[in-house]
Amino acid sequence: MNPLGLKAWAVGVLALLVLAVGATWKVQNWRYGKRLAEQDGLHQSDLAEISRAAAAQVQAAQANRLALEQKLSTSEQTHHQVLTNVQKDQDRLRDRLATADVRLSVLLAEDPASCNAVPSTASAGGVVHGRARAQLDPAHAQRIIAITDAGDRGLIALRACQAYARGLSKQK
Protein backbone atom coordinates (compact mmCIF):
# COMPACT_ATOMS: atom_id res chain seq x y z
CA MET A 1 0.00 0.00 0.00
CA ASN A 2 1.09 3.34 -0.70
CA PRO A 3 1.41 6.01 1.93
CA LEU A 4 -1.49 7.97 0.52
CA GLY A 5 -3.83 4.95 0.65
CA LEU A 6 -2.64 4.19 4.13
CA LYS A 7 -3.42 7.72 5.20
CA ALA A 8 -6.89 7.51 3.68
CA TRP A 9 -7.49 4.20 5.31
CA ALA A 10 -6.29 5.55 8.72
CA VAL A 11 -8.47 8.64 8.33
CA GLY A 12 -11.46 6.41 7.50
CA VAL A 13 -10.84 4.17 10.51
CA LEU A 14 -10.39 7.25 12.68
CA ALA A 15 -13.66 8.70 11.34
CA LEU A 16 -15.45 5.42 12.01
CA LEU A 17 -13.97 5.35 15.51
CA VAL A 18 -15.13 8.93 16.17
CA LEU A 19 -18.61 8.06 14.87
CA ALA A 20 -18.73 4.92 17.02
CA VAL A 21 -17.67 6.84 20.14
CA GLY A 22 -20.24 9.57 19.36
CA ALA A 23 -22.97 6.98 18.85
CA THR A 24 -22.00 5.26 22.10
CA TRP A 25 -22.21 8.54 23.94
CA LYS A 26 -25.60 9.22 22.40
CA VAL A 27 -26.89 5.79 23.48
CA GLN A 28 -25.46 6.30 26.99
CA ASN A 29 -27.13 9.74 27.09
CA TRP A 30 -30.50 8.18 26.20
CA ARG A 31 -30.12 5.44 28.81
CA TYR A 32 -29.06 7.84 31.57
CA GLY A 33 -31.76 10.28 30.51
CA LYS A 34 -34.34 7.52 30.82
CA ARG A 35 -32.97 6.48 34.22
CA LEU A 36 -32.95 10.11 35.44
CA ALA A 37 -36.53 10.54 34.25
CA GLU A 38 -37.57 7.43 36.20
CA GLN A 39 -35.79 8.70 39.33
CA ASP A 40 -37.40 12.11 38.89
CA GLY A 41 -40.83 10.46 38.65
CA LEU A 42 -40.15 8.47 41.83
CA HIS A 43 -38.91 11.61 43.55
CA GLN A 44 -42.06 13.50 42.51
CA SER A 45 -44.30 10.73 43.80
CA ASP A 46 -42.38 10.70 47.12
CA LEU A 47 -42.78 14.47 47.40
CA ALA A 48 -46.50 14.20 46.65
CA GLU A 49 -46.90 11.52 49.35
CA ILE A 50 -44.98 13.63 51.87
CA SER A 51 -47.14 16.64 50.98
CA ARG A 52 -50.34 14.62 51.50
CA ALA A 53 -49.09 13.37 54.88
CA ALA A 54 -48.14 16.90 55.96
CA ALA A 55 -51.54 18.23 54.85
CA ALA A 56 -53.27 15.47 56.84
CA GLN A 57 -51.23 16.36 59.93
CA VAL A 58 -52.06 20.06 59.56
CA GLN A 59 -55.74 19.24 59.15
CA ALA A 60 -55.71 17.00 62.24
CA ALA A 61 -53.92 19.71 64.25
CA GLN A 62 -56.50 22.28 63.13
CA ALA A 63 -59.35 19.95 64.09
CA ASN A 64 -57.79 19.38 67.53
CA ARG A 65 -57.30 23.12 67.99
CA LEU A 66 -60.90 23.81 67.01
CA ALA A 67 -62.19 21.14 69.40
CA LEU A 68 -60.04 22.57 72.20
CA GLU A 69 -61.27 26.09 71.47
CA GLN A 70 -64.88 24.89 71.61
CA LYS A 71 -64.26 23.08 74.92
CA LEU A 72 -62.57 26.16 76.38
CA SER A 73 -65.39 28.37 75.16
CA THR A 74 -68.00 26.11 76.73
CA SER A 75 -66.00 25.90 79.95
CA GLU A 76 -65.56 29.68 80.02
CA GLN A 77 -69.28 30.24 79.47
CA THR A 78 -70.16 27.80 82.26
CA HIS A 79 -67.62 29.39 84.59
CA HIS A 80 -68.92 32.87 83.77
CA GLN A 81 -72.54 31.79 84.36
CA VAL A 82 -71.74 30.24 87.74
CA LEU A 83 -69.72 33.30 88.73
CA THR A 84 -72.54 35.61 87.64
CA ASN A 85 -75.12 33.62 89.63
CA VAL A 86 -72.97 33.71 92.77
CA GLN A 87 -72.38 37.44 92.26
CA LYS A 88 -76.14 38.04 92.03
CA ASP A 89 -76.76 35.98 95.18
CA GLN A 90 -74.06 37.91 97.05
CA ASP A 91 -75.48 41.23 95.84
CA ARG A 92 -78.99 40.24 97.00
CA LEU A 93 -77.68 39.20 100.40
CA ARG A 94 -75.67 42.43 100.68
CA ASP A 95 -78.78 44.47 99.80
CA ARG A 96 -80.89 42.57 102.33
CA LEU A 97 -78.24 43.22 104.99
CA ALA A 98 -78.13 46.91 104.12
CA THR A 99 -81.91 47.27 104.43
CA ALA A 100 -81.91 45.30 107.70
CA ASP A 101 -84.24 42.78 106.09
CA VAL A 102 -81.80 40.13 107.25
CA ARG A 103 -79.45 40.30 110.20
CA LEU A 104 -76.47 38.08 110.73
CA SER A 105 -76.05 36.60 114.16
CA VAL A 106 -73.56 34.38 115.89
CA LEU A 107 -73.99 31.76 118.58
CA LEU A 108 -72.85 32.84 121.99
CA ALA A 109 -70.73 30.59 124.10
CA GLU A 110 -72.75 29.46 127.09
CA ASP A 111 -71.40 29.13 130.51
CA PRO A 112 -71.91 25.44 131.43
CA ALA A 113 -72.53 26.43 135.05
CA SER A 114 -75.63 28.44 134.19
CA CYS A 115 -78.69 26.47 133.22
CA ASN A 116 -80.58 29.19 131.44
CA ALA A 117 -82.27 27.16 128.75
CA VAL A 118 -85.05 29.76 128.48
CA PRO A 119 -83.99 33.34 127.77
CA SER A 120 -84.93 35.86 130.43
CA THR A 121 -86.53 38.28 127.97
CA ALA A 122 -88.28 37.63 124.72
CA SER A 123 -87.80 39.90 121.75
CA ALA A 124 -90.73 41.69 120.16
CA GLY A 125 -90.28 39.78 116.85
CA GLY A 126 -90.76 36.34 118.29
CA VAL A 127 -89.63 33.83 120.80
CA VAL A 128 -86.13 32.44 120.38
CA HIS A 129 -85.74 28.83 121.33
CA GLY A 130 -82.39 27.16 121.57
CA ARG A 131 -78.99 28.65 122.13
CA ALA A 132 -78.48 32.35 122.63
CA ARG A 133 -77.37 34.42 119.63
CA ALA A 134 -75.91 37.89 119.21
CA GLN A 135 -76.67 40.02 116.16
CA LEU A 136 -73.74 41.47 114.26
CA ASP A 137 -73.29 45.12 113.40
CA PRO A 138 -74.35 45.67 109.74
CA ALA A 139 -70.88 47.01 108.82
CA HIS A 140 -69.25 43.86 110.21
CA ALA A 141 -71.83 41.74 108.40
CA GLN A 142 -70.95 43.51 105.13
CA ARG A 143 -67.25 42.73 105.66
CA ILE A 144 -68.05 39.08 106.37
CA ILE A 145 -70.14 38.89 103.19
CA ALA A 146 -67.25 40.45 101.21
CA ILE A 147 -64.87 37.82 102.62
CA THR A 148 -67.24 34.96 101.79
CA ASP A 149 -67.74 36.46 98.32
CA ALA A 150 -63.98 36.31 97.69
CA GLY A 151 -63.92 32.75 99.03
CA ASP A 152 -66.80 31.71 96.79
CA ARG A 153 -65.04 33.18 93.76
CA GLY A 154 -61.89 31.29 94.69
CA LEU A 155 -63.79 28.03 94.99
CA ILE A 156 -65.48 28.59 91.63
CA ALA A 157 -62.10 29.28 89.99
CA LEU A 158 -60.67 26.16 91.66
CA ARG A 159 -63.54 24.02 90.33
CA ALA A 160 -62.99 25.44 86.83
CA CYS A 161 -59.26 24.62 87.02
CA GLN A 162 -59.99 21.11 88.26
CA ALA A 163 -62.49 20.53 85.45
CA TYR A 164 -59.88 21.75 82.94
CA ALA A 165 -57.22 19.45 84.42
CA ARG A 166 -59.64 16.50 84.37
CA GLY A 167 -60.42 17.24 80.72
CA LEU A 168 -56.72 17.27 79.84
CA SER A 169 -56.06 14.02 81.68
CA LYS A 170 -58.96 12.32 79.86
CA GLN A 171 -57.48 13.34 76.50
CA LYS A 172 -54.23 11.52 77.21
Q: Tens digit of pLDDT for each residue in 51-72?
A: 999 999 999 999 999 998 998 8
Contact criterion met (CB below 8 Å) for 138 and 100? yes
Report d(CA 78, CA 50) in Å as an integer.
42
Contact criterion met (CB below 8 Å) for 137 and 107? no
Report d(CA 104, CA 133) in Å as an integer.
10
Residue 126 has pLDDT above 60, yes or no: no
Quote the pTM value: 0.48
Q: How many CB atoms lie within 10 A of CB 148?
A: 12
